Amino acid sequence: MKQKKYLTALLGLCMAGTAGAQTLTQAKNFFEQGEFEKAKPVFERLVKQSPSNASYNFWYGACCYETGESEKAYTYLSKSAKRRYIDAYLYLGKWCYDAYRFDEAEENLNEYIDLRSRKKGSTEDGERMLEKVRRGQRMIRGVEKVAVIDSFVVDKQDFLKAYKLSADAGDIQITENGVRFTNEMGDKQLQSVRNAEGQASLYSSMKMIDQWSKPEAVTSINELGNADYPFVAGDGITMYYASDNEESMGGYDIFVTRYDSDDNSYLRPDNLGMPFNSPANDYMYVIDDLNNLGWFVSDRRQPEGKVCVYVFVPNASKQVYDYENGDPDQIAALARLDRISDTCTDEDKVRTARQQLAALVYSKDENTRKADFTFIVDDSATYHSLRDFRSAEARKQFQMLQQKEKDLESLIGQLDKKREAYAQAPESNRANMAPGILDMEKRVEQLRQDIEELTNTVRNTEIRQLRK
């Protein structure tokens, strides 16, 4: 009887060992096929059974990385790397890259390449990743100072509904073939088209009387890689688009190029850099000159099927953070857009932009909306909306004028309260209150003068445009 029990137990152990081996083999196959969710439970169980096993730590950590469990991935990959498991260094390089820890990423990838070389193995994947890391090292030293005033998480397929653009920005449509941009005049189009292999390319066409010309491929752009999500700025020359070419940081990055009329082609595009681009997909960059607002969309830190639409204030000229003398961690956080409030350092600019955005979001239909204001340009022109302006410079000047008028209204309100308090105060307190009132009266008078001068400037700027 005892012998039978021993045989039964031994048989059970053998069967368990066989089943375990099959499960491990299957998990490895799932891993190689990229089915990480299926492989992860097996590796999780194995790593709990053998916490110091370098292979198990790597496989489980890699599965965690591929399925979005970032912190857990780093823990197990680090354990594996300490035991010199080669592939762990590759994944740690990827992890550090995603976290904008580019110097650490470089160290891990160099270790991976060195160990692979010693074993006569291929280092191609490590070298390719290292190129991305070095690109990130360059970009982090040129993060643009840009005020991001709002963000909206929306369904990926409906992201364009979140864009609140003036007619002056042109028309953007999602078609069956891709994204189509039509300029403000309605006579030029850029269309992204995908072929049977899924490759996206840009095509341009012109409106000839009542029909569109045959679309022509933008060869100078298309040959560099996927080209999608086009937008042309108000100058008719500057084009923004998204691509996953060799200069991309992640999937899609936003690029800028300019049309060269001499060669009838576009110049070599430049990566727009951080914070607009990331290791994720970033695209559909739009500048609305009329409202002085910019828009782009990203799937960074978003679940499947969701994207984040960012609204920012475009800069007249690019300014970057001082990486060499600043806090690298803080600049990395700004580059990642961890907290958009950290980018809003210019209170006046941000306040004006948010007011403009609110007006766009909550405005009524164009046909039923009342006049926004009344501004007399000259005897023949009276404006009631920002889009009435023909001069972009005059439009911006008028927005400044509007802000100064609001500031004046606020200041007068404060002055009235101080005067009322002065009238009700005891005689002994009035001497201390008088200087503050006098100073505020001077500020009111100066602001009135500024408004008068700016009003004339707006008129003259707009008249010059009308006379052209």
3-state secondary structure the chain: CHHHHHHHHHHHHHHHHHHHHHHHHHHHHHHHCCCHHHHHHHHHHHHHHCCCCHHHHHHHHHHHHHCCCHHHHHHHHHHHHHCCCHHHHHHHHHHHHHCCCHHHHHHHHHHHHHHHHHCCCCCHHHHHHHHHHHHHHHHHHHCECCEEEEEEEEEHHHHHHHCCCCHHHCEEEECCCCEEEECCCCCEEEEEEECCCCCEEEEEEEEECCEECCCEECHHHHCCCCCEEEEECCCCCEEEEEECCCCCCCCCEEEEEEEECCCCEECCCEECCCCCCCCCCEEEEEEECCCCEEEEEECCCCCCCEEEEEEEECCCCCCECCCCCCCHHHHHHHHHCCCHHHHCCCHHHHHHHHHHHHHHHHCCCCCCCCCCCCEEEECCEEECCHHHCCCHHHHHHHHHHHHHHHHHHHHHHHHHHHHHHHHHCCHHHHHHHHHHHHHHHHHHHHHHHHHHHHHHHHHHHHHHHHCC
pLDDT, position 363: 62
Mean pLDDT over 173-201 rounds to: 90
What pLDDT, on a 0 to 100 scale, did the predictor assign at position 467?
Answer: 84
- pLDDT for the residue numbered 11: 42
Q: What is the pLDDT of residue 275?
A: 97
> What confidence tier does 466 reach under pLDDT thresholds 50, 70, 90?
confident
Place of tokens 């209150």: 433
Q: Is residue 426 pLDDT above 90, yes or no? A: no
- Tell me the pLDDT tens digit for each residue of 318-350: 999 999 999 999 999 999 999 999 999 998 899
Q: What is the mean pLDDT of the chain?
A: 88
**Right CATH number for 2-140 from 1.10.8.100, 3.30.750.200, 1.10.1740.10, 1.25.40.10?**
1.25.40.10
In this structure, the number of other CB atoms found within 10 A of the CB of residue 365 comes to 6
Are the beta carbons of 55 and 76 closer than 8 angstroms?
no
**Domain residue spans in the chain?**
2-140, 144-326+334-362, 375-466
pLDDT tens column, 41-99: 999 999 999 999 999 999 999 999 999 899 999 999 999 999 999 999 999 999 999 99
pLDDT band at 370 (very low <50, low <70, confident <90, very high): low
* Position 371 confidence tier, pLDDT thresholds 50, 70, 90: low
**pLDDT top residue among 371 and 466:** 466
